[in-house]
Structures are given as structure tokens and as C-alpha cells.
């Protein structure tokens, strides 16, 4: 395997025929995340994106809107850039195919091709006549059998294709079958082209096995494009124009320094992220064109999956599009980035649902991560005066190298699930070690220091590892930890970077729960319901209150089976009944509010469930040592019992 020293990653350049949709955001967020993960490791990474602005389709849309074509392109390109800004996409270069440096680069590549010879010695470019069905939206010719009948419709756009006959320049793709097969077969080896996932690689090899057809690289009837110098009444095929962006953006026209560094050099990874719709162009046409022109071809491509809704393709006609701007308006950039990368497996199709979005937001972000951060920091504020405590022994919750390896493999869901396993472990540690109990005992002070330091370091490491996906949240956690907000680097991945004694900053809520915000107005007017968590307690020894409990929280409640041995009404009360219960190892008196539903004598012999570790209390002056579980149905108590025999004292969990 060739050692890589520079890391170029590209997104497809998006058509400006419409404003960006969630599929565009998906690819761009994935690319930004991988690039950030690489920068985090100190790698020389470069992210390239942009807009594809030529072609018949765009020319037509601008005409329909009554706007000059260039002006129309300017408007839509600006919307793409603005969305990327809103989504915190940190690209190094935004290329537009109407830029002069692009046009010059395309013409330079064309100049090389027109002179080029194929492996079999024939000219790589030749003149021929093309007759076939053309879909102006795909900007591609279609085979007769691909069309939907009646009406010769494009199977993707469901619009009529046009019968087109013209004299074109052709590229002799057929002469590159052997070379392509070999390069793809070599994968990540020298001179190879690695295509992932494997199913897509096999798909490309399958296409080659069926035989590759030469394709035309000029168009007679299109005006909005780059004229062919040898035939100024033709423009270069929009896909030839568009694919060239990957090198023109780097300064190929002038042999620029970035082109040398990120594309031409031996140690350059030239990596394209693409959708499955554009596989043929990127995995066959583009490598072969470059090989013919004597320019290094890409060496890595990853084909992402499709976002669907109710299993259907997103389309304006169906009305099921997902507007990325609206998502950012509502939730902010981090949750959108997180959800898109966490919910599906990158490389496979997956279905977007609003419920899943809200569910993940509330459980993963508001509850798991948000609570961990606020609990850890609150405890340091309360028990250590807001200063980082002394370091203790290290408790490993996550292996940064494994998370980074998952990012590098485009396994975003895998990277995030490793980080969330760490979040869960730390939340569990808080429950099992009960720092609020330790805080009451001066002898436990050193243990509490160690635990709190480790929690803070855990939070810090988690924020660094999640930074490629949620750069804003990572910055806010850094700020709360009293650290400068800057781009993290390799040194930040080491445990123990927090300086004991340094002050934390104010705690800010990270991810407020969604339904609370939505219901806030309504709730203000109603009485607080029991599902609303109480406000944080102020006394020193109480734990910060999470919205949901961990299994370890639940385990603190000791539920046991018990047999009622005697029962009588509590005098002066309509509701209360005094029970004597047998817990196997001990007998107890428990008072229960079930007298209106059960006559005392019917209770004797019943097997019930008792909360055995409840602090004793007096009800109407009668001592109660535990609590009986019952449901309340229309104000009537229904006792919780067993559907098979269990010995008294059996633990219920």
C-alpha cells in the first residue's frame, strides 16, 4: 500500500437546477466529518465541494424563470454556500464550473485527450455519429431498454427522453476495460482504485464484464457550456466538464501548488464520495479519461446509500422532500449532522422519519450526552467549587484510535455508537458510585476527586471524538470545561489534559428536549405533571436529576415478593389498610391506600410486590415499612401480583 501524505476528499458538485435537498446535505456532512476526523489526527486534509452549472437543463430552468443563466447560477450557488455555512461545513475550496480557472482547466485536459493514444495505439478521441435517446435532466443518453413505456420516459426522472442524432466527439472507453478491471482489482494497492462498499465494487466490475461502450464527449445542441475548440458549435459534454472540477479546482490549469500536492503527488489520496446514481461516471468514465490524458486517476471512491421516505425516493413530484434548511432552523446544525450520520449505515439506503429524528435527539443527545455533561459539571461545581480536582487513576471508557478508524472507514454510525457506549458507561459510573453520597463523607474525599476528574476527562475525550460530527457541541463543552475553543489536534486525544485546579465555566444546556420546547406554552398553563422532572435540587448532597434513569438507577429499588398474613383498616381513614407481610426472611408492617378497592379479609394470602428498601414512614400515625405496588384504574387500586407461584422474598427486577 502506498503511504499517503495528503488527503483530498471531494463531494459531487451539485446541480444548480434547484436549491439543495437533504441528499446533498448528507454527502457534504459525511465529507466534512471525515475531513474533520483527519484534521483531528493532524493529517493534511483538503475538502472540495462546489456546483455543477452547465448544461441544457440549467439553461432551460433559467429561461423558464426569466433570469439570465449566469445570474440564476449565481443565486443558487449562493444558496448552497449559505447552507454549508449553516451546517458548519468547513470546505477548503468551493468550485463553480462557470469559473474561468475551471474552464481553462477543462480545455487543458481536453487538449491532452485529443492528442492521446489508447493502450491499443488508436486515438482516444474520435469523431462519430450518435443517435439515441437523451434525457436532458440526467444529461445522458439512455439505452432503449432503460426507457419506461409508453412515452420513452427516463426511468429516473419519468420525463420523456429526446431522440437525438448528431455528429460528436467520442471517447474510446472500450479500450480501457482491461485497465479499469485491473485498477479496481488492485484496490488500495499501488496503481489501484479502491471502491467501497464491496457490493458497489462488484457492481462496477459487473458493468465492465458486460462490455463498455464508447461515449460521446461533445454536444451539438447545447449552448450553455464550454465550446469545443475544434468545433465551436459544440460544447463539451457536461459530465466531462463536471468531472474535471476535481482537478481544475486545485489549479490544474496552471499546474498550481495545490494540484501538485493534493492530486498529482505520489502520496496523495484522491478520494471521491458519490451517490449510487453517479457511479458509472465516477468509477468508469473519469478514471479512464484521466488515464488516457496521463493524469493520475482517483485512488478511492465510496458510494453512499440513498435516503428515502417511507421507502420511496425523495422527489418534488411525490411531495416527500426533506428541506435541510428547515431542519437546521428547527434543531440547529449539530442534531441534523448527528442524525443523518447515526441513523443509517453509510453506504446503504435508509428511511428518514421525523419520529426517529426526535427519538434520537431526545434519547442520544438530550438524555445521554446532555445529562452526562450537566451532571459531571454540576457535581464539580457543587463538591469542588467549580475547579478541576486532582488526577486519580485512569478509567478507560473509549479507545480513540478505534473511533477514528471507524470514521476513516466511513462507518459513522459505528464511530458514534462507540462514543455513546462511553457516554453510557460514564452515566452508569455516576449512578453506581453515587458521588453525592461520597460528598457527605470526608474520608472519601480522594476517591471523589479521582472519580470527578475521570468524569471530566471522559466528557472532554467524548467531546473531542464527537467533534467531527458535532463541532458546535464540542466547542461548547470545551468552553464549559474552561478550555479555549479551538480546533482539536492529536494531543487532545490523550487522557489527562485537564489541569487540576483550573476553573470550569458556567454550565449551558446542550440539547434541550424537543417536546418540552414544543409544549412549553401549553405546560405553563397546566399543573405540573408527574412526568416533568423536578427542578434541580439545591441542597449540597442531592444528585443532579436526569430525565430518564439508567438500569443502574432502577437497580437501586429493591422490589420483593411478599405474602399478606393479616390485614385491617386504619382507623379514621377511608383509604388506608394496615398489612402484615411475610418477606421470607422477615415480617413487616406496610400501610397501603387500597381499602376502597379491597376488603381487608380478601387480602390475606395474596402475594404482592413490595418496595422493600423504602425509608419507614408514618401514615395517619401508623408505621409503614415498605410500599405495596398497585396500578390505579379510574381511581381504583389494582394490586400487582404474580402469574405463577414465587417464594416470599423473591427479588423482582
Applying CB under 6 A, what is the total number of residues that bind ligand MSP? 20
281-303 burial code (b ≥16 CB/10 A, e <16) = bbbbbbbbbbbbbebbbbbbbbb
DSSP 13: P
Which residues in 45-64 contact ligand MSP (CB under 6 A)? 52
- Residue 49 makes CB contacts below 8 A (sequence gap 6+) with 10, 11, 13, 14, 28, 31, 84, 89, 91, 93, 94, 95
Q: Rule CB under 6 A: say whether 275 interacts with ligand MSP.
A: yes
Distance CA 436, CA 376 (A): 11
Please indicate whether residue 272 is annotated as part of the active site: no
Please indicate whether residue 135 is annotated as part of the active site: yes
Which residues in 149-168 contact ligand MSP (CB under 6 A)? none
Q: Rule CB under 6 A: say whether 324 interacts with ligand MSP.
A: no
Binding mask 277-296 toward ligand MSP (x if CB under 6 A, else -) reads xx------------------
- Catalytic residue from among 43, 186, 313, 425: 313
- DSSP-assigned letters across all residues of 198-210: HHHHHHHHHHHHT
Task: Tell me the torsion sign for CA atoms 516, 522, 528, 529.
Answer: negative
Copy the grid coordinates of residue 408: 476513516
Distance CA 540, CA 226 (A): 72
Strand, helix or coil for residue 505 = coil
Residue 12 or 370: the one with the smaller Cβ distance to ligand MSP is 12
Please indicate whether residue 313 is annotated as part of the active site: yes
Q: Rule CB under 6 A: say whether 627 interacts with ligand MSP.
A: no
Other beta carbons within 10 Å of 522: 8
Q: Rule CB under 6 A: say whether 347 interacts with ligand MSP.
A: no
Q: How many CA atoms lie within 13 A of 265 on its CB side?
A: 17
- Catalytic residue from among 54, 73, 108, 138: 138
Per the DSSP assignment, residues forming a β-bridge with 275 are: 304
Please indicate whether residue 21 is annotated as part of the active site: yes
- Catalytic residue from among 73, 135, 161, 283: 135
* Phi-psi domain of 444 (left: phi exceeds 0; alpha: psi -120 through 50; beta: other): alpha
Q: Rule CB under 6 A: say whether 323 interacts with ligand MSP.
A: no
- DSSP-assigned letters across all residues of 599-616: -HHHHTT-EEEEETTPPP
Residue with the closest Cβ to ligand MSP? 23
- Least Å distance between CB 629 and ligand MSP? 49
Peptide bond into 632 cis (omega under 30): no
DSSP 511: S
- Least Å distance between CB 57 and ligand MSP? 10
Cα–chain center distance at 292: 38
- Least Å distance between CB 369 and ligand MSP? 26
Residue 321 or 559: the one with the smaller Cβ distance to ligand MSP is 321
Please indicate whether residue 161 is annotated as part of the active site: no
Per the DSSP assignment, residues forming a β-bridge with 49 are: 94
Q: Rule CB under 6 A: say whether 26 interacts with ligand MSP.
A: yes
Contact status, residue 124 vs residue 292, Cβ threshold 8 Å? yes
Contact status, residue 101 vs residue 253, Cβ threshold 8 Å? yes
The Cα-based distances of 211 to 180, 185, 553 in angstroms read: 12, 17, 63
Q: Which stretch binds ligand MSP (CB under 6 A): 107-115, 176-184, 300-308, 504-512?
A: 300-308
Q: Rule CB under 6 A: say whether 136 interacts with ligand MSP.
A: no
Residue 23 or 543: the one with the smaller Cβ distance to ligand MSP is 23
Q: Rule CB under 6 A: say whether 263 interacts with ligand MSP.
A: no
Q: Which stretch binds ligand MSP (CB under 6 A): 155-163, 196-204, 299-307, 579-587?
A: 299-307
- Least Å distance between CB 26 and ligand MSP? 5
Please indicate whether residue 316 is annotated as part of the active site: yes
Q: Rule CB under 6 A: say whether 412 interacts with ligand MSP.
A: no
Q: Rule CB under 6 A: say whether 297 interacts with ligand MSP.
A: no
Distance CA 275, CA 308 (A): 13
- Least Å distance between CB 259 and ligand MSP? 17
Q: Please identify which residue in 243, 253, 379, 474 interacts with ligand MSP, judged by CB under 6 A.
A: 243
Residue 224 or 420: the one with the smaller Cβ distance to ligand MSP is 224
Q: Which stretch binds ligand MSP (CB under 6 A): 19-27, 107-115, 393-401, 478-486?
A: 19-27
Contact status, residue 120 vs residue 137, Cβ threshold 8 Å? no
- Least Å distance between CB 646 and ligand MSP? 53
Q: Rule CB under 6 A: say whether 453 interacts with ligand MSP.
A: no
Distance CA 590, CA 567 (A): 10
- Least Å distance between CB 137 and ligand MSP? 9
Enzyme catalytic residues: 21, 24, 135, 138, 154, 157, 313, 316
Q: What is the binding site for ligand MSP (CB under 6 A)? A: 12-15, 23-24, 26-27, 52, 242-243, 245, 274-275, 277-278, 304, 306-307, 314
Amino acid at each position: 500500500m502506498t503511504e499517503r501524505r495528503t488527503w483530498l476528499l471531494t463531494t459531487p458538485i451539485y446541480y444548480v437546477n434547484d436549491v439543495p435537498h437533504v441528499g446533498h446535505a448528507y454527502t457534504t456532512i459525511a465529507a466534512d466529518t471525515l475531513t474533520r476526523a483527519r484534521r483531528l489526527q493532524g493529517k493534511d486534509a483538503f475538502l472540495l465541494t462546489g456546483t455543477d452549472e452547465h448544461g441544457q437543463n440549467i439553461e432551460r430552468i433559467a429561461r423558464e424563470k426569466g433570469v439570465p443563466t449566469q445570474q440564476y447560477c449565481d443565486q443558487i450557488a449562493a444558496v448552497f454556500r449559505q447552507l454549508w455555512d449553516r451546517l458548519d461545513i468547513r470546505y477548503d475550496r468551493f468550485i463553480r464550473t462557470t469559473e474561468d480557472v475551471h474552464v481553462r482547466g477543462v480545455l487543458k485536459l481536453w487538449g491532452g485527450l485529443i492528442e492521446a493514444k489508447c493502450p491499443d495505439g488508436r486515438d482516444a478521441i474520435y469523431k462519430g455519429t450518435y443517435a439515441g435517446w437523451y434525457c436532458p435532466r440526467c444529461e445522458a443518453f439512455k439505452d432503449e431498454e432503460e426507457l419506461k413505456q409508453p412515452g420513452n420516459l427516463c426511468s429516473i426522472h419519468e420525463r420523456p427522453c429526446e431522440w437525438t442524432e448528431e455528429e460528436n466527439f467520442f471517447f474510446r472507453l472500450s479500450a480501457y476495460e482491461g485497465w479499469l478491471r485491473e485498477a479496481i482489482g488492485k484496490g488500495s494497492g499501488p496503481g489501484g482504485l479502491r471502491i467501497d462498499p464491496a457490493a458497489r465494487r462488484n457492481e462496477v466490475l459487473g458493468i465492465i464484464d458486460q462490455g463498455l461502450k464508447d461515449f460521446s464527449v461533445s454536444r451539438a445542441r447545447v449552448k450553455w457550456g464550454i465550446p469545443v475548440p475544434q468545433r465551436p458549435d459544440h460544447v463539451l459534454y457536461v459530465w466531462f466538464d463536471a468531472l474535471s472540477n476535481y482537478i481544475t479546482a486545485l489549479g490544474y490549469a496552471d499546474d498550481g501548488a495545490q494540484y501538485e500536492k493534493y492530486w498529482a503527488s505520489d502520496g496523495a489520496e484522491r478520494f471521491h464520495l458519490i451517490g449510487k446514481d453517479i457511479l458509472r461516471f465516477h468509477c468508469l468514465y473519469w478514471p479512464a479519461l484521466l488515464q488516457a490524458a496521463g493524469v493520475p486517476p482517483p485512488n478511492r471512491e465510496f458510494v453512499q446509500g440513498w435516503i428515502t421516505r417511507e421507502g420511496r425516493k425523495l422527489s418534488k413530484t411525490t411531495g416527500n422532500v426533506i428541506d435541510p434548511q428547515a431542519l437546521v432552523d428547527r434543531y440547529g446544525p449539530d442534531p441534523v449532522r448527528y442524525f443523518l450520520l447515526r441513523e443509517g449505515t453509510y453506504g446503504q439506503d435508509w428511511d428518514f422519519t421525523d419520529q426517529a429524528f426526535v427519538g434520537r435527539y431526545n434519547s442520544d443527545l438530550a438524555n445521554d450526552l446532555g445529562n452526562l455533561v450537566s451532571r459531571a459539571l454540576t457535581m464539580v461545581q457543587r463538591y469542588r467549587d467549580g475547579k478541576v480536582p486532582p488526577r486519580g487513576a485512569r478509567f478507560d471508557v473509549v479507545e480513540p484510535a478505534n473511533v477514528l478508524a471507524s470514521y476513516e472507514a466511513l462507518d459513522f454510525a459505528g464511530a458514534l455508537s462507540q462514543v455513546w457506549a462511553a457516554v453510557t458507561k460514564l452515566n452508569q459510573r455516576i449512578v453506581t458510585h453515587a458521588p453525592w453520597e461520597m460528598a457527605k463523607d470526608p474520608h472519601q474525599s480522594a476517591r471523589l476527586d479521582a472519580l470527578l476528574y475521570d468524569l471530566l476527562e471522559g466528557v472532554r475525550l467524548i467531546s473531542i471524538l464527537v467533534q467531527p460530527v458535532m463541532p458546535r457541541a464540542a466547542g461548547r463543552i470545551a468552553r464549559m470545561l474552561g478550555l479555549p475553543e479551538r480546533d482539536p489536534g492529536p494531543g487532545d486525544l490523550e487522557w489527562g489534559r485537564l489541569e487540576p485546579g483550573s476553573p470550569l465555566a458556567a454550565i449551558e444546556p446542550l440539547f434541550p428536549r424537543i417536546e418540552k420546547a414544543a409544549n412549553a406554552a401549553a405546560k405553563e398553563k397546566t399543573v405540573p405533571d408527574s412526568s416533568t422532572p423536578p427542578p434541580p435540587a439545591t441542597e449540597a448532597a442531592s444528585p443532579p436529576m436526569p430525565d430518564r434513569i439508567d438500569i443502574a438507577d432502577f437497580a437501586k429499588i429493591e422490589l420483593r415478593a411478599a405474602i399478606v398474613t393479616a390485614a385491617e383498616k386504619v382507623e379514621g381513614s377511608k383509604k388506608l389498610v394496615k398489612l402484615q407481610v411475610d418477606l421470607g426472611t422477615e415480617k413487616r408492617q406496610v400501610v397501603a391506600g387500597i381499602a376502597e378497592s379491597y376488603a381487608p379479609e380478601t387480602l390475606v394470602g395474596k402475594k404482592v410486590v413490595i418496595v422493600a428498601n423504602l425509608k419507614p414512614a408514618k401514615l395517619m400515625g401508623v408505621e409503614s415499612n415498605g410500599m405495596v405496588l398497585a396500578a390505579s384504574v379510574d381511581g381504583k387500586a389494582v394490586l400487582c401480583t404474580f402469574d405463577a407461584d414465587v417464594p416470599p422474598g423473591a427479588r423482582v427486577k
